[in-house]
């Protein structure tokens, strides 16, 4: 009861939505790989091994170098936003709105495909140099544009959350971690990045850089446009300043405060969950091909049946819950990755070692299979 009293309704909402986004993004990523492999089989009869370049050009696989330098790049971007926010806020708002439009259209696509399947064929409609699109893709994009326009006009937190959810799912679906080594490098580096900018940046910059950048509203592009074009004192003046969709926010039951969680704290465990989901699929297929051979002699059959996906998902849930309780106890911003990284990586490493999979998971396990099997490539 004491732990429950430390969590209010806004934090419960943030926790539940975050877990749902992580799981949904992981399975969307899995489904994309199946679709890409089916397309490859339809377009080519030549045999060859799957690799990151042959699946989909839009999918980005993070290598070791990128994993090491990503926290540095994120720190530089954070400092730019901290010192020069007034100068770049309009450009940053427009770029964010464009990305959020595309991401939310991706989030809506399965629903639109379900709605348009009975009444229209799945033939693509040509728009000249813009490309060819199905009716479902056009519908999802139109709904996404409409939502972004309403968000720009109203600045409502619920619409901002919807756009942030689209960004989370799109990032989880289109970014790949190829091995456990890269996962450890990336998550460890981002843990240090998160802890430094939340706990120690105030000692250097006299302000909590992470919190200030995350909570600082930007000028509405409509207001800026009306001032630039001298459209009159009443044109564009009633539009609110915009809180950018780089986070999820939910109000408390009393409306006295908002609970906030950055989308990076959702995407990073989501990427790890995608990796272990692919490995579970890979290992399941490998065991099927070997006629269900037993695991290592020092591990029981029950232990072998425990999936890495469930282990990592439980760790992510416990980590998010711990971060939520910690923020409530200290009544201050907490680096969520400080709790998420240990609660996800340590159980995963322990289970991989006990099952005898650690060496294979550490060094890109999916490259060893041929394209004749329906395995997933990270």
CA angle 352, 279, 361 (to 5 degrees): 45
Matching residue, tokens 């990128």: 66
What DSSP letter does each residue of 193-207 carry, written as one string?
A: HHHIIIIIHHHHHSS
Which residue(s) pair with 242 in the sheet?
A: 218
Q: Which tokens sit at 146?
A: 């409409």
Please, are residues 165 and 17 in contact by the beta-carbon 8 Å criterion? yes
Catalytic residue among 161, 265, 280, 357: 265
Residue 280 is a catalytic residue: no
Q: Which residues of 24-40 are buried (b: 16+ CB within 10 A; e: fewer)?
A: bbbebbbebbeebbeeb
Q: Which residues of 343-374 are buried (b: 16+ CB within 10 A; e: fewer)?
A: bbbebbbebbebbebbebbbebbbeebebeee
| Separation between Cα atoms, residue 204 and residue 206, nearest integer Å | 6
Three-class DSSP category at 361: helix
Residue 194 is a catalytic residue: yes
Relative to beta strand 175-176, strand 60-61 is parallel
Whole-angstrom Cα Rg for the chain = 23
Relative to beta strand 132-133, strand 175-176 is unpaired
Please, are residues 236 and 225 in contact by the beta-carbon 8 Å criterion? yes
- Please state the φ and ψ torsions of residue 118, each to the nearest 5 degrees: -70, -25
3-state secondary structure string across 136-156: HHHHHHHHHHHHHHHHHHHCC
| Separation between Cα atoms, residue 94 and residue 100, nearest integer Å | 10
Catalytic residue among 161, 194, 223, 280: 194
Catalytic positions are: 194, 265
């Amino acid at each position: 009861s004491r732990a429950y009293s430390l969590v209010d309704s806004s934090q419960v909402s943030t926790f539940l939505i975050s877990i749902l986004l992580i799981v949904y993004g992981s399975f969307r990523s899995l489904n994309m790989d199946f679709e890409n492999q089916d397309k490859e089989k339809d377009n080519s009869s030549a045999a060859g091994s799957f690799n990151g370049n042959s699946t989909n050009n839009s999918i980005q696989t993070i290598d070791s170098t990128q994993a090491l330098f990503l926290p540095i790049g994120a720190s530089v971007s954070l400092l730019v936003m901290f010192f020069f926010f007034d100068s770049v806020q309009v450009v940053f708002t427009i770029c964010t709105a464009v990305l959020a439009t595309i991401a939310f259209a991706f989030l809506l696509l399965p629903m639109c495909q379900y709605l348009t399947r009975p009444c229209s064929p799945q033939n693509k409609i040509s728009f000249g140099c813009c490309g060819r699109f199905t009716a479902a893709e056009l519908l999802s994009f139109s709904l996404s544009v409409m939502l972004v326009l309403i968000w720009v006009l109203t600045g409502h937190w619920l619409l901002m959350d919807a756009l942030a959810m689209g960004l989370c799912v799109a990032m989880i679906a289109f970014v790949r971690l190829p091995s456990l080594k890269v996962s450890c490098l990336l998550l460890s580096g981002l843990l240090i990045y998160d802890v430094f900018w939340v706990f120690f940046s105030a000692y250097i910059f006299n302000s909590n850089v992470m919190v200030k950048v995350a909570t600082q509203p930007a000028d509405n592009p409509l207001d800026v446009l009306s001032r630039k074009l001298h459209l009159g004192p009443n044109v564009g003046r009633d539009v609110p300043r915009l809180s950018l969709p780089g986070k999820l926010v939910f109000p408390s039951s009393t409306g006295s405060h908002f609970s906030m969680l950055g989308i990076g704290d959702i995407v990073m465990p989501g990427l790890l969950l995608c990796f272990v989901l692919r490995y579970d699929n890979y290992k399941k297929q490998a065991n099927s091909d070997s006629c269900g051979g037993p695991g290592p002699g020092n591990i029981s059959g029950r232990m072998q049946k425990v999936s890495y996906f469930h282990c990592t998902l439980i760790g992510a849930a416990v980590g998010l819950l711990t971060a939520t309780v910690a923020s409530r106890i200290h009544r201050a911003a907490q680096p969520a990755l400080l709790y998420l990284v240990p609660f996800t990586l340590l159980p995963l490493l322990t289970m991989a070692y006990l099952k005898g999979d650690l060496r294979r998971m550490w060094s890109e396990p999916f490259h060893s299979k041929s394209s004749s099997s329906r395995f997933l490539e990270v």
